Structure 1
Amino acid sequence: MTDIRMIKRLEEFPSNSIITPGIENKMLNYSFWTSKLHDGKGLVMNSKDIKQFNEETIRKADTVYNLQQYKESLSKKELSAFIKEYKFTDKMKVDDEGKQIKKDFLDSLIKNTNLEGIKEENKIEYGMSIKKLQVRGFPTEAGTYESADSNLDRFQETSCEPCEAVLILHKSKDKKWYFIQTYNYRGWVKAEGIAIAKDKKTVFDYINSENFVIVTGNHVTIDKNVKENNKYNEVFNMGNKISLVANGEVFDKYNRQYYVLNLPLKTEEGYLGFKESLIAKGKDIVEGYLPYTRENIIKQAFKLQGEKYDWGNKFSGRDCSSFIADIYKTFGIMLPRNAGDQESSHGKHYKFDETESVEERNKILDNLSPGAAIFSPGHVMMYLGKIDGVHYMIHDFLAYGKKIEDKYVAVPVAAVAVTSTLLTVSSGVPYIRKFSSAVQFEN
């Protein structure tokens, strides 16, 4: 279903570097910031440290899971509670065409969640995503919005990326939707995009393989599907992890110039299978994870500069917390999905008190290293550094405030851009006054 608001927005906000007040052209280049790093190439954490970090995140964040250790079944009470976490709100007023949402439509969605089909004990099935999927709060592609001029679909939660392990917890009444658990989110996805495995081992042998590539570019496209008889995912996004084929006829023929990908698919019987595809070694991908250095964090962030803001990753972009999470995925770091959960996750924490002055807040920022996440209510930003007494950040945001005569008006951005911490929000308050905390993602 095409969102007419999204088409309009894409025309209004082309993908390029956006210059906000107080930003010079030189600040739009990652090398400007990496040249100022004290030890930009030094490892922040090695692979052992990152494994420990992820274990601590799973322990502290109740939205992040080790799916391999997830329970084998859910009780009726547990599963019902998960599905009922999604509720209709007063921000769900109009549909894709700007018409008022009707009660019978909402009632049909509740019916399709198939609550009456939940048993006393519900065995979990294992599977993998074969393409990028929208994760929805309810089993429907239809959108709902706060107003006719809004493009924030309130049914959209996040995305399930290709080649992810998923747990199938429940199925909709019409059988077209699965209620799934990924490593950091639950929600409804279209069943056609999930291949159910015959056994748990197949999924986690793939996920735990030490022979893989990570997509380090914003988006990359595979070069060739060796077996053309199935639909397959063509475009991969930053942070996507794809298992490799390390031997065999295709590997022997192509491995000098290509990585031979092992992509999940649905077999003719409807179960999880795999196929070989190729992606050129010259593309923006790496074998294994990127080294976790300050320089690499900044480089990854600037690859997303100018990309459109995309609420819940509904289309090809990201929102503010996915901007952060996808960058850190390239290092093998697992973060919660939403900004509020990222703020309370594992790491070195710095707190801001609402009574603090700008000068006092600047002193807290002085303690941060580039790459730290800075949080305000409902938003997350990445810290870049300090120039001439002013702190700067890069983030994926909708707008800033500009004073016209005696009031502030919102200036649309809806993209990833570099800003100072003194830039004002639409109400006229500087961003720095809205900060609640900052987190360095390290042990």
Structure 2
Amino acid sequence: MVRYLMKILLTMGVAVSLTCPAGLAEAYEVQTMPQVKAEMLQADYWIHKIANPDQVILNPGQIEEFNREIIRKLPDSVYNLADYPSSWTREQLTRVIDYPFPSEPSYMGAEVVAASYWQQLKRQMNLDGLKEKNQVQYGFTVKRSNLKIYPTADVIGDEPNDPAFDLFQNSAILAAEPVVILHHSLDQQWYYVQMYNCLGWLPAADVAVCDRNTWLDYQNEPDFLVVTGNYIRLDQDPFLPQISAMEFTMGTRLPLVKPEDLPDSMRGRRVYQNYVVKLPVRNMSGQLEFVMAPIPISHDVTIGYLPYTRENVIRQAFKMQGERYGWGGMLNGRDCSALVLEVYRCFGFRLARNSDAQRLSAGKTLSFEGYSVAYREKLLQSVSPGASLHFSGHEMLYLGEDSGRYYVLSDLGSFAEIKAGETELHSVRVRTVVINDLNVTRASGVPWIEALTTAKLLEKTSFTDLANHPDRAVIENLADNYLVQGVSATEFNPEGTVSRAEFAAMLCRLWKLEPDQAEAQGQFTDVSDQWYAGVVGAAVKAGLFQGSDDKKFHPEAPLDRAQVAVILSRVPEISATGADGDQLEKFRDRDSIPSWAKEAMNKAIAKGLLRCQTPDQIAPLDLVTRSEAAVILDALLKMPAGEE
């Protein structure tokens, strides 16, 4: 019994009592992934490595704006349901509901699914019941449930006897979640619904239908609880069996009952030391009713959203350690993208459902593609803990570096390893939330760190000195993608000049040129170990820059527009093409263009890489400002494929 208690305490990260017998604290070691030490299982171990872990990253208003930006970037994946269409045509609904059945053999238990099963499922989709114009309905989930691709509770696998994987599982949906009802199954037992980030079939018994005004009012209740524990459970309630011992998982939002509406007693008890929430329930006719439910203040909940800090992100994620992986949220679990989504729901974020959409969503985005392992490790040093890391088919939360290894918290399906005495990789099915380092190997044999494509930080660049600048959006978007940097965390200095070293750094980031300090040191006497040594070497090696005859690079020298045009003309895709006619004849200051820069400036104007100062002035000798350099970078980024 004592050993079992120790196992629980160690798993929860609870300090062991000093009254335990000597050595008992080390008597039981939980299993971990390779290269994971026991102390790494504590959130504080990683939080102590973070500078200013309690600094608020975005306030609630900024998070709301961030959510709007998510919708703007992913208009086909994430919705403000209040703006959702009130009707759908037959053609529109058929397009989303009539999802193709698997082409490969599928299994229900040990048996191959027969053709007759698919035929019956097709009838259940009730496509013949669609009208030319279909009005939507509104409702709320009355419990955590599963959104399915087809209207059935059957578990259908891609191999025999795997009840933990369901091809039909689309997503879990939390309790008290608003949905738009688009259609119903032939037997009326399923609704086809849209939640804010996912479509699917939901058991009708798990939905309470209401009018639109009630639906909007409940979503807009100003005071609410957020479940911040891995899960909480209501007390047993013999008077309301539909909510008795109901479970709520992390990120669930539950409106609070107004103080003036609280009764003196509730179903035979006084609810002292309890929050009282307003829960949606389904009555006998399937319509929405609300009931009050007490939640003890000892439960892991918070009034309103948690402050968005790196410390809080790590603490929330660590509450899920050891939990079962659930494909698409089945088995009351989470998959990798749902773990990230539900952690960030605690701060008010409304993320896309799947990993790829989250990767393409709003926020700061650092690309790892095209870089060596050594440079990927260097890039990871600039990634803040709590960011999501992505590669094809998986995402995880970054924790930080320890002894030269880079660690993540991951809702892990499987990895590959070579067993002792063998040479071949074997797939290891994990299906658990674990901590692991990025040297773990995929089934393909590629280490995770080599497979990484992206780091995503849920924050936005905001430079205070760009408040009224016409190029603010361009500059801050480039900064969000790590292509330009400010002179500080809050200022860009848009009218400052750009040095040769700074422009080299911008081009290296744009074209993913890895730093080459040795190249610069071997060519130039004025470059040694400064911050720019690596990018100077890379840019020179790529043929973008040249030094002077005295073997100097002059890294701090500012660039003028003619010099920038010449640098751009050395880009192979630009140098190989000509300009369409004489683009310079319209400028009255064309005679001030140095002879060595005329062809380059002609190309730069033709390709839209240099903006004219006025309609009839090109100002070739004006120094390039930082904002102008950013606009040039943006133009290069947007050049048609094959022309950059």
Counterpart position of 2:401: 386
Q: Secondary structure at the match of 1:314?
A: helix
Aligned partner (choices 71, 75, 83) of residue 69 of structure 1 = 83
Which residues of structure 2 form unaligned runs of 5+? 1-10, 13-29, 461-644
Counterpart position of 2:128: 116
Counterpart position of 2:214: 202
Within-5 A mapping of 1:169-318:
169-197=182-210, 199-223=211-235, 225=237, 227-228=239-240, 230=242, 234-248=246-260, 250=262, 252-253=264-265, 254=270, 256-318=272-334
Counterpart position of 2:386: 371
**Shift in CA distance, 114/269, structure 1 to aligned 2, threshold 3 Å:** closer
**Shift in CA distance, 92/293, structure 1 to aligned 2, threshold 3 Å:** farther
Greater helix content: 2
Counterpart position of 2:97: 83
- 1:91 deviates by 5.0
Distance, in Å, in 2 between the alignment partners of 1:40 and 1:20 is 26
Q: Cα deviation per residue 1:64-109 (whole Å; 9 max; x = unaligned)?
A: 110011111111111111112x2212455111x2100001100111
Counterpart position of 2:155: 143
Distance, in Å, in 2 between the alignment partners of 1:230 and 1:401 is 44
Alpha-carbon RMSD across the aligned residues, in angstroms, is 1.7
Distance, in Å, in 2 between the alignment partners of 1:317 and 1:211 is 28
Q: Secondary structure at the match of 1:418?
A: strand
Counterpart position of 1:442: 459
Does residue 46 in structure 1 map to residue 63 in structure 2? Answer: no
**Shift in CA distance, 196/19, structure 1 to aligned 2, threshold 3 Å:** same
Distance, in Å, in 1 between the alignment partners of 2:445 and 2:95 is 40
Distance, in Å, in 1 between the alignment partners of 2:238 and 2:212 is 26
Query: Does the 8 Å CA contact 1:162/1:233 hold for their aligned counterparts?
Result: no
Q: Secondary structure at the match of 1:334?
A: coil
Which residues of structure 1 form unaligned runs of 5+? 1-14
Q: Cα deviation per residue 1:31-69 (whole Å; 9 max; x = unaligned)?
A: 100111101101010001100000000111121110011
Query: Does the 8 Å CA contact 1:18/1:306 hold for their aligned counterparts?
Result: no
Query: Does the 8 Å CA contact 1:130/1:233 hold for their aligned counterparts?
Result: no
Query: Does the 8 Å CA contact 2:145/2:174 hold for their aligned counterparts?
Result: yes
- 1:411 deviates by 2.4
Counterpart position of 2:374: 359
Distance, in Å, in 2 between the alignment partners of 1:436 and 1:281 is 42
Distance, in Å, in 1 between the alignment partners of 2:286 and 2:78 is 29
Counterpart position of 1:325: 341
**Shift in CA distance, 229/370, structure 1 to aligned 2, threshold 3 Å:** closer
**Shift in CA distance, 230/122, structure 1 to aligned 2, threshold 3 Å:** same
Greater strand content: 1
Distance, in Å, in 2 between the alignment partners of 1:169 and 1:330 is 28
Q: Cα deviation per residue 1:124-157 (whole Å; 9 max; x = unaligned)?
A: 1000100111110000111111111433110111
Query: Does the 8 Å CA contact 2:235/2:244 hold for their aligned counterparts?
Result: no
**Shift in CA distance, 145/82, structure 1 to aligned 2, threshold 3 Å:** same
**Shift in CA distance, 256/391, structure 1 to aligned 2, threshold 3 Å:** same
Query: Does the 8 Å CA contact 2:236/2:245 hold for their aligned counterparts?
Result: no
Distance, in Å, in 1 between the alignment partners of 2:264 and 2:58 is 35
Distance, in Å, in 2 between the alignment partners of 1:181 and 1:222 is 27
Query: How many residue pairs end up in the alignment?
Result: 425
- 1:426 deviates by 3.0
Of structures 1 and 2, the one with the larger relative CO (CA 8 A, separation 6+) is: 1
- 1:356 deviates by 2.1
Letter in 2 for 1:107: Q
Letter in 2 for 1:300: Q
Distance, in Å, in 2 between the alignment partners of 1:229 and 1:323 is 30
Counterpart position of 1:415: 432
Distance, in Å, in 2 between the alignment partners of 1:104 and 1:228 is 41
Percent identity of the aligned residues?
A: 35
Query: Does the 8 Å CA contact 1:301/1:327 hold for their aligned counterparts?
Result: yes
Counterpart position of 2:116: 104
- 1:388 deviates by 2.3
Q: Secondary structure at the match of 2:232?
A: strand
Distance, in Å, in 1 between the alignment partners of 2:242 and 2:50 is 47
Letter in 2 for 1:113: M
Letter in 2 for 1:179: Y
Query: Does the 8 Å CA contact 1:72/1:124 hold for their aligned counterparts?
Result: yes
Distance, in Å, in 2 between the alignment partners of 1:44 and 1:315 is 34
Distance, in Å, in 2 between the alignment partners of 1:380 and 1:409 is 21
Q: Which moved more, 1:43-52 or 1:264-273?
A: 264-273
Letter in 2 for 1:26: E
Does residue 428 in structure 1 map to residue 445 in structure 2? Answer: yes
- 1:111 deviates by 0.9
Counterpart position of 1:4: none
Within-5 A mapping of 1:20-59:
20-59=33-72
- 1:272 deviates by 0.6
- 1:250 deviates by 4.2
Q: Cα deviation per residue 1:384-416 (whole Å; 9 max; x = unaligned)?
A: 111222211111012222213211112232101
- 1:248 deviates by 4.7
Q: Which moved more, 1:393-402 or 1:247-256?
A: 247-256
Distance, in Å, in 2 between the alignment partners of 1:290 and 1:37 is 19
Distance, in Å, in 2 between the alignment partners of 1:315 and 1:419 is 23
Q: Secondary structure at the match of 2:112?
A: coil
| Bigger radius of gyration | 2
Q: Cα deviation per residue 1:274-303 (whole Å; 9 max; x = unaligned)?
A: 001111011101010011000000000000
Query: Does the 8 Å CA contact 1:258/1:279 hold for their aligned counterparts?
Result: yes
Letter in 2 for 1:415: T
Distance, in Å, in 2 between the alignment partners of 1:112 and 1:191 is 14
Distance, in Å, in 2 between the alignment partners of 1:315 and 1:92 is 23
